[in-house]
Amino acid sequence: MFDAIIFDCDGVLVDSEIVGLEDTAAFMRSKGFAWQAVDLVQLFTGLRDDVFAARLAKEYALILGRPPTEDEATELFATMIENRRRNRHMLQAVPGTKEMVIALEALPVARAVASSTRAQYLEDKLSRFDLLQHFAPHAYSAELVAAGKPAPDIFLYTAAKIGIAPAKCLVIEDSANGVRAGVSAGMTVWGFTGGGHCFDGHGDRLSEAGAARIVEDHGTLADQMAEALAG
Ligand SMILES: [Mg+2]
């Protein structure tokens, strides 16, 4: 059924999307945006920095009637990075990730990571939780491709690197933007809701974006991958 499984990193393997999220939502409220953490998740998760900036400018225009000034955009980026940095001691792997990855190694399937994160951060995050060795050298940053998610580029690039046709790839994604990217690449996508940022209704939004099924935790994911490959 599948010859490869391609994982997103943030919010799937590493529970990074929740880190600093409340602080950033509070900052945006101070700027006149009636946003909660859940709104930030819906609008911005899974995006490369440039795609994020473009979407933020669009939201600014909708809500404040004008795009952000360069200083405002810079301040927001700096604040988000600082919020993550200040809370980085809270960063953990998504529960059950290591066990799932080890279970996956027993299956006849190629493994890779395709992430919106910059290459250096991607390697740091995977190494920190002893995950990189399970994927190397197939852990790829969207820095390597023309367009970030929700464009399909990083998934197509990854499929080419591992030498598997897109139609034979299964993608595991936690963000609607990432789900759209995988579907656009012609891959089957399962939505994953085991991350700390997956609030009520998150699975429904991944289904709406095109996820073929929703998986709530890594134990279930390991079982369902084994079943899919056996069937
Ligand atoms: Mg993600």
What is the residue-level pLDDT of the chain in tens, covering all 231 positions?
899 999 999 999 999 999 999 999 999 999 999 999 999 999 999 999 899 989 999 999 999 999 899 999 889 888 988 998 899 899 999 999 999 999 999 999 999 999 999 999 999 999 999 999 999 999 999 999 999 999 999 999 999 999 999 999 999 999 999 999 999 999 999 999 999 999 999 999 999 999 999 999 999 999 999 999 987
Q: How far apart are CA 204 and CA 200, in angstroms?
A: 9
Q: Give the distance (Å) from ligand 1 centre to CA of residue 173.
A: 6
Domain assignment of residue 43, given as a range: 21-89
- pLDDT, residue 81, reads 86
Q: Give the distance (Å) from ligand 1 centre to CA of residue 107.
A: 24
Domain edge (last residue) among 68, 89, 110: 89
Alpha helices in 106-217 (DSSP H): 119-128, 132-135, 153-162, 176-184, 202-209
84 in the same domain as 117: no
148 in the same domain as 113: yes
Domain count, the chain: 2
- pLDDT, residue 10, reads 97
Q: Give the distance (Å) from ligand 1 centre to CA of residue 208.
A: 16
Q: Give the distance (Å) from ligand 1 centre to CA of residue 12.
A: 6
- pLDDT, residue 76, reads 86
- pLDDT, residue 153, reads 98
66 in the same domain as 40: yes
184 in the same domain as 162: yes
Q: Give the distance (Å) from ligand 1 centre to CA of residue 192.
A: 9
- Tokens (6 digits) for 125: 């995050």
171 in the same domain as 122: yes
> In sequence order, which residues have a C-beta less than 8 Å from that of residue 155 and are 6 or more positions away?
6, 114, 166, 169, 171, 181, 182, 185, 187
CATH of the domain at 73: 1.10.150
> In sequence order, which residues have a C-beta less than 8 Å from that of residue 56 and are 6 or more positions away?
44, 68, 73, 76
Q: Give the distance (Å) from ligand 1 centre to CA of residue 45.
A: 6
Q: Give the distance (Å) from ligand 1 centre to CA of residue 175.
A: 5
Q: Give the distance (Å) from ligand 1 centre to CA of residue 196.
A: 12
Q: Give the distance (Å) from ligand 1 centre to CA of residue 120.
A: 16
Q: Which long-range contacts (CB under 8 A, 24 or more apart) does 38-44 make?
A: 38/199, 41/17, 41/175, 41/197, 41/198, 41/199, 41/202, 42/176, 42/205
- pLDDT, residue 77, reads 84
* Single-letter code of the amino acid located at 164: I
Q: Please give the full DSSP string across 22-46, using - where no structure is assigned.
A: HHHHHHHHHTT----HHHHHHHHTT
- pLDDT, residue 11, reads 97
- pLDDT, residue 143, reads 96
Q: Give the distance (Å) from ligand 1 centre to CA of residue 211.
A: 14
Q: Give the distance (Å) from ligand 1 centre to CA of residue 2.
A: 21
